[in-house]
Amino acid sequence: MLFNSIAFVLFFISVLSGISIYKKRIFQYSLLLFASYFFLYYSSNYLVILLIFSTVWDFYLAKKIYQSKNIKYKKFLLILSLAGNLGLLGLFKYYDFAITQFNILGNYFDLATSIPLLNLVLPIGISFYTFQTISYTIDVYRGHLTPSKSFFEFALFVAFFPQLVAGPIIRASHFLPQLREKLSEFETGTRLRQIIIQNSNLKLGITIMAIGFFKKMFFADNIAPLVDSIFLIPTALDSSSVLLGTIAFGIQIYCDFSGYSDIAIGAALILGFNIPANFNKPFFATSPSNFWQRWHISLSTWVKDYIYTPLAFKNRKSQLRLTIVLIGSMFLLGLWHGASWNFVIFGVLWGIVMAGHRIILYKFPSLKFNSFFKTKIGIIISIIITQYFVFLAFIPFRIPDFDYMLYAIQKYIFWDFSTFDAIPFMVDNKFAVLLIGLFFVLQFITYKNIFTKEKIANYKNRYWFGIITIITVLIFFLASRDPGNFIYFQF
């Protein structure tokens, strides 16, 4: 069920109505859980079984891990949990890719047989809910989390529909306490809290959702045709077109994915649940690591907490080990996005950039404390250099064909503007080019905090309603007539 569809609007209104009319806690949470399973079933049909399997698998294994006093047995149970989750993810997402590479290698060595592909349908959201259940089990194993006593509550954590399909990836330690009554700042009760649609949450939630729809339907969908036309056959183009297409795609994917995250966060807030932000002004990042502190925050922190830190912590003094672990972590982050070599290249490229930046700071520690980089000019230079690499990494993310990718990267790095062949694309896509300019203006305004979601929600009702009406009218009249799926649905 797409967020940008009438079906979702009707679905969400129905859920809100049911929760508002019937005040019994058990009914409210039963409705939420049923709605979450229906939400996934609507798009994936019988594949919702995989979600239920992951829920049952990790709920009971985490309980066993917590109850066991034997370290070896706890490790065995953890490995069993990881094997079940990663086994399903690998089978549906990576099996055909791995077998294809094996068959290519077999043909190279003139092997007579090849392994058949399964051609399985990729379950929507499997990468997201798998990482959620894995983090739950690992946190219980580490002693950082007490397992949920209620299967019902754990099931709602895994299946919560606003963020089920494309994140943000939430942690049990953040979500589960929100299901219980609040006794104090640091303590929750044993009873489920009643879900009350509060006016303040409703107003802010609608604001966040409206901005999310605006990003997706007004910006991303209208810029997409320009991106598609440029990268259809990039080898026929010069640097100006590649640069335009790369910038356009960076804006498209940001508006598409952060738009989804905003809709998810806003919908959850209306229901009374707080989901952490997934983006924080990424185009103002001042270093590669700072970018990943601002972009897809829930995934980058997951990789940091469960892959990079445990592996790097064993020997922090070894610069070679830290470099290998960093590149390996980013490789896995890239591979998480999909079973394709372009995502592998995307991750490794980011790993090399981040490792190179870290090595430079290690060799020249004075750069970290240089006052010049704290001045306005220094910050601007840092942003420009960082964004150069950010948009460079978007090229392999967008172009799966290896030859096309290399050509586009070459044209991006080695500028050649002898012929400005971007003009035909700009003429044919005037509105998209206008939106690119408008996007950067709005980014500057939000960077200065002139308008924020919280400020808009705190306006007097007539001003707030006016802004929401303007956003709605712009979407209704200027949204693309050919809306596409959210890009991260494929992951």
pLDDT digits (tens, 9 = 90+) for 7-38: 888 999 999 999 998 888 889 999 999 999 99
Phi, psi of 399 (to 5 degrees): -110, 110
CA distances from 175 to 45, 132, 180, 242 (A): 26, 11, 10, 42
CA 488 – CA 279 distance, rounded (Å): 14
CA 212 – CA 208 distance, rounded (Å): 6
The pTM for the full model equals 0.92
CA 137 – CA 310 distance, rounded (Å): 15
CA 446 – CA 456 distance, rounded (Å): 12
The set of residues, in sequence order, having a beta carbon less than 8 Å from that of 207 and lying 6+ positions away, is 266, 453, 456, 457, 464, 468
Residue with tokens 């009406």: 469
pLDDT for 185 beyond 70:
no
Judge contact between 349 and 413, C-beta under 8 A. no
Average pLDDT over residues 248-276: 94
For residue 357, indicate whether it is catalytic.
no
pLDDT for 426 beyond 90:
no
CA 311 – CA 367 distance, rounded (Å): 27
pLDDT in tens, 370-390: 777 778 898 899 999 999 999
Active-site pick, 144, 174, 296, 337: 337
DSSP H helical segments within 143-235, as ranges? Answer: 151-159, 161-164, 172-175, 199-213, 221-231
CA 214 – CA 217 distance, rounded (Å): 5
Q: How confident is the model at residue 402 (pLDDT cuts 50, 70, 90)?
A: very high
In this prediction, residue 373 carries a pLDDT of 73
pLDDT in tens, 336-349: 998 899 999 999 99
pLDDT for 187 beyond 80:
no
Average pLDDT over residues 295-312: 93
Judge contact between 246 and 424, C-beta under 8 A. no
CA 281 – CA 261 distance, rounded (Å): 14
Residue with tokens 């404390």: 369
Judge contact between 189 and 196, C-beta under 8 A. no
pLDDT in tens, 113-172: 778 888 888 888 899 999 999 999 999 999 999 999 899 999 999 999 999 888 799 999
